[in-house]
Amino acid sequence: MKKILLAITALMITFGAKAQVESHVRWSYAAKKISATEAVVLIKATIDQGWHVYSQNVKEGGPVKTTFTFAPSKEYILVGKTVEPAPITKYEKVFSMNVGYFENSVVFQQKIKLKSAKAAAVKGKLEFMTCNDVKCLPPDEVEFSIPLGK
């Protein structure tokens, strides 16, 4: 009986801890064909009011920058680097440097060259950090799979 009670207590603590995890960014994905052999993958962050995520181009010693890691594929190759719009740049005392970040929403774009006409999916993961004026949350990783269609 004690073992069952301990197991139930452990489960309740686990679920309670999960319920308290803060998340202030929602990610969405799309792809659009720009020719028979090229597509653009769109990765959008929708950010809660008062929070921000950082640019891909943050210097060493700053916050965790947004990073995209694409899984290798025989169906496509990446063309260039993932691009982003111009970030808001501001001096942040906690990092003692100017940093670029995005508020409300941001769309990152990655150009893809298709190696075949068959349907493919761009897979990978992204890492990002979310902060507001009071605190930063630990860096988070999100896996994605974006269908390119035919």
pLDDT in tens, 14-47: 444 444 578 899 999 999 999 888 999 999 999 9
The pLDDT tens digits of the residues spanning 66-80 come to 999 999 999 899 999
The answer to whether residue 117 scores a pLDDT higher than 90 is no
CA-CA-CA-CA torsion for 29, 34, 36, 38, nearest 10 degrees? -70
HSE (side-chain half, CA atoms, 13 Å) at 33: 13
What does the alpha-carbon distance between residue 43 and residue 144 come to, in Å, rounded to a whole number? 9
What's the pTM value of the predicted model, to 2 decimals? Answer: 0.83
Q: Please provide the CATH number assigned to the domain covering 24-149.
A: 2.60.40.1250
What does the alpha-carbon distance between residue 20 and residue 22 come to, in Å, rounded to a whole number? 6
Per the listing, tokens 């309670």 go with 16
In sequence order, which residues have a C-beta less than 8 Å from that of residue 21 and are 6 or more positions away? none
